[in-house]
Structure 1
Amino acid sequence: MSKIAVLGAGSWGTTLANMLCTKGLKVSMWAREKELVQEIKKKGENTWYLPGYSLESRLEVSHEPDEVLHGVDYCLVVIPCQFMRKVLEDFKDLFLDNPVIICASKGIELTTLKPQSSVISEALRGKNPRYSVVSGPSFADEVSRKLPTAVSLGCEDQELGARLQEILSTDFFRVYFNADYRGVELGGALKNIMAIAAGIADGLEFGHDARAALITRGLVEMSRFGVALGGKEKTFMGLSGMGDLVLTCTGDLSRNRQVGLELGRGKTLDDILKVRKTVAEGVKTTESVYRLSKDLHVEMPITEQVYNVLFEQKDPRSAVEELMTRALKVEQ
């Protein structure tokens, strides 16, 4: 029986760990907080991040990384993007050589402007990790309810990718293989910026037309940026691009859309983040992508306006109006 370690006990990490455990796999999950481990063991539920869902009694949960990583075949990392490098560097000596890493986190590291594949490779330098990434339109709440969901698995190694497809797929969680791991991971990161933009428009009550325009032009931006970093344009038309974009720009469970909604309704970013327990990766990713787009000379008008609202205190209404009054162009 395959043993899988899950690093990260937030809503998504807990959902995936429990789903795989339900499938019959041996799963151990690492949580940073000792109190959370005790809570899960006591109540059989992650009341902090995934309340209302009973967890499999066979799911092992620990605060000790050596217990979780001992003898594992696959490691599913679901650590917030900006903390990924530090955690993996701290745990590096616990990994065997050539570990199989399945990344389920989304974002671009702010300090280095690097995607998760590069961060993981550098953090585990010398271990020669085999990288894959799972991304697509998937809310933890809906997957926990076993509602039909389809995602992409990005992996350069087709043989390994096919194996991981089988491991991760269930009768309600369908996994498609895609050799373009860079496109898959970037789609998952970039769509969070567009979700903030769509939320701002909705918060301003600009209507369905505006939201549809932002989604469509947002996809153009995502593709343009992704190709500049080595992804394939076609990938952004799939589940990890357009699929995840539509979900996060329209679904009320989207944390990034909720941030945008509150901004559109007049709240400041500081006030919004103070009361949030879960991470909205799109905030940091906006800063990373904005800076990187300038270095790469990639035009990203929506990202630029979201950045201005988040970090330059620009009025959200002015930001949207400025997008609408840009120089007229040919659609491409």
Structure 2
Amino acid sequence: MFDCGKIAIIGGGSWATAIAKIVVGHTHHIGWYMRRDDRIDDFRRLGHNPAYLMGVRFDIDEIFFSSDINKIADSYDTLVFVTPSPYLKNHLKKLRVRLKDKFVVTAIKGIVPDENLVCSEYFHQVYDVPYENLACLGGPSHAEEVALERLSYLTVGCSDRDKAQAFADVLSSEYIKTKTSDDVVGIEYSSVLKNVYAIAAGICSGLKFGDNFQAVLMANAVQEMSRLLQAVHPLERNVYDSVYLGDLLVTGYSNFSRNRTFGTMIGKGYSVKSAQIEMEMIAEGYFGTKCMKEINRHLHVNMPILDAVYNILYERISPQIEIKLLTDSFR
């Protein structure tokens, strides 16, 4: 039976903090890479993350902090990457430790810009991590609700089911239910797309479309997602499982969703730049929209919602005009 060994968290945001809370509750020791020493100092002094989920308290004696990614990567067996996807390459540029013998878990619900690769593909192609040592974490899971210990369902994807189950066992608790899957690439692409569709839902909310239309939008979004997943990774999967449809719905509807919030601001007339400045947090779907549009130029999948969001964000077409065209395409 596979053993995850010593586990480290790479990243210091809200989802990283929520995952750290889950893992350390099981293992009572984690490594934690944060890039800023001042944040680490404040964390040690306060007993909580000074910038995210500040209500989550930690036993500092159970955490080994470091701003040196090589020290963490060298000392731990399982590395859980939870950085925003646009910043992943910059963190990894500092890395001198070989990753191919590590168990790498990506909890990044985004795509690597410029490379247009989901994170597992990036780790495999650039860092030679074999597929059996790569896992992803998906499912409807807002960090804020996990921090409040509200019941959540997570799926661990890995081509090696024993390794997937081992990490799922680390996450399982009274408030975290887990399952495993071998559809790593499908889970990752659906995690990218649901952020795009959440931006679309937010734009429609900002334009004062009601719940009736939002339901039609989500129904069309899951069909669009299914078409793309079959094109990029043909597999017998049920897109109505929680890791696909569930994650799409919570990201599209919840007030915790930063992608929906970003879209709502765009729908209300904010420019992309002004919305990003006011949010002060990364909306992964902004970057994911451009990457998916570029990927689909080769796949030629019918994706009208993706096209509409891209036109609004990158071609600066009026949301009112673009969404009106989108509504006319729905049935």
The reply to whether TM is greater than 0.5 is yes
Q: In structure 2, do the counterparts of structure 1 residues 118 and 152 end up closer, same or farther at CA, with 3 Å as the change threshold?
A: same
Deviates more, 1:111-120 or 1:60-69: 60-69
- Cα distance in 2 for residues equivalent to 1:272 and 1:245: 22
How many aligned positions are there? Answer: 326
Correspondences of 1:22-41 after superposition (within 5 Å): 22-41=25-44
Per the TM alignment, residue 257 of structure 1 is displaced from its structure 2 partner at its CA by 0.1
Match of 2:83 in 1: 79
> Which of 308, 311, 325 matches 1:308?
311
Aligned to 1:63: 67
| Aligned pairs (5 A) from 1:33-52 | 33-52=36-55
**Larger mean Cα displacement after TM superposition, 304-313 or 274-283:** 274-283
In structure 1, what is the Cα distance between the partners aligned to 2:73 and 2:52?
Answer: 22
Q: Which residue of 1 aligns with 2:272?
A: 269
Cα distance, 1:231 vs structure 2: 4.9
Taking structure 2 as the reference length, what is the TM-score of the superposition? Answer: 0.93
CA-atom RMSD in angstroms: 1.7
The amino acid that maps onto 2:186 is G
The answer as to whether partners of 2:100 and 2:127 remain within 8 angstroms in 1 is no
After superposition, give the CA deviation of every residue in 1:221-255 in whole Å (9 maximum; x if it has no partner): 11111111115362422122100000011100000
Tell me, in whole angstroms, the C-alpha distance in 1 between the residues paired with 2:91 and 2:245.
31
- Which of the residues 153, 158, 179 maps onto 2:156? 153
In structure 2, relative to structure 1, the CA distance for the partners of 1:291 and 1:241 (3 Å cut) is same
Q: CA deviation at 1:25?
A: 3.7
* Contact kept? 2:69, 2:94, Cα under 8 Å: no
Q: Residues 231, 37 of structure 1: CA spacing in aligned structure 2 closer, same or farther, 3 A cutoff? A: farther
* 1:324 aligned onto 2:327: yes
Q: Which of 248, 252, 258 is the matching residue for 1:249?
A: 252
Partners of 1:252 and 1:239 in 2: how far apart?
19
DSSP 3-state at the match of 2:35: coil
Name the CA distance, whole Å, in 2 between partners of 1:268 and 1:318.
Answer: 16
Indicate how the Cα distance of structure 1 residues 50 and 238 shifts in structure 2: closer, same or farther if over 3 A, else same. Answer: same
Confirm or deny that 1:187 pairs with 2:166: no
Code of the aligned partner of 1:88 = L
Give matches, 1:190-229, under 5 Å. 190-229=193-232
TM-score by length of 1: 0.93
Please tell me whether the aligned partners of residues 226 and 239 of structure 2 are also in contact (alpha carbons under 8 angstroms): yes
User: CA shift at 1:49, angstroms?
Assistant: 2.1
Local SS of the residue matching 1:236: coil
Which amino acid in structure 2 is aligned with residue 26 of structure 1? H
> Matched residue of 1:221: which SS?
helix
* C-alpha contact (below 8 Å) 2:99/2:127 kept by paired residues: no
Q: Report the Cα distance in structure 1 between the residues aligned to 2:28 and 2:58, rounded to whole angstroms.
A: 14
Deviations 1:115-144 (Å, cap 9, x if unpaired)? 11111113313x546100001100111101
| Alpha-carbon separation, structure 2, partners of 1:62 and 1:146 | 27
Deviates most, 304-313 or 230-239: 230-239
The whole-number CA distance in structure 2 between the counterparts of 1:249 and 1:118 is 26
Shift of 1:24: 3.0
CA drift at 1:191: 0.2
Name the CA distance, whole Å, in 2 between partners of 1:37 and 1:235: 42
SS at match of 1:318: helix
Residue equivalent to 1:88: 92
Alpha carbons of structure 1 residues 28 and 255: separation in structure 2 relative to 1, 3 Å:
same
- Helix, strand or coil for the counterpart of 2:75? coil
CA-CA distance at 1:5 after TM superposition: 1.0
SS for the counterpart of 2:32 is strand
| Residues 48-80 of structure 1 deviation map (CA, whole Å, 9 limit, x = unaligned) | 122222223222222122332233121101111
1:120 to 113, 118, 123: 123
Q: Distance in 2 between matches of 1:95 and 1:175?
A: 29
5+ residue gaps, structure 1, are none
Pairing 1:96-111 to 2, within 5 Å after superposition: 97-111=100-114
Task: Check 1:318–1:60 CA distance in 2 against 1; reply closer, same or farther (3 A cut).
Answer: same
Distance 1:110 1:88 in 2: 14
Q: 1:175 is matched with which residue?
A: 178
**Runs of 5+ unmatched residues, structure 2:** none
Q: Contact 1:226 / 1:233 at 8 angstroms: preserved in 2?
A: no
Identity of aligned residues (%): 27
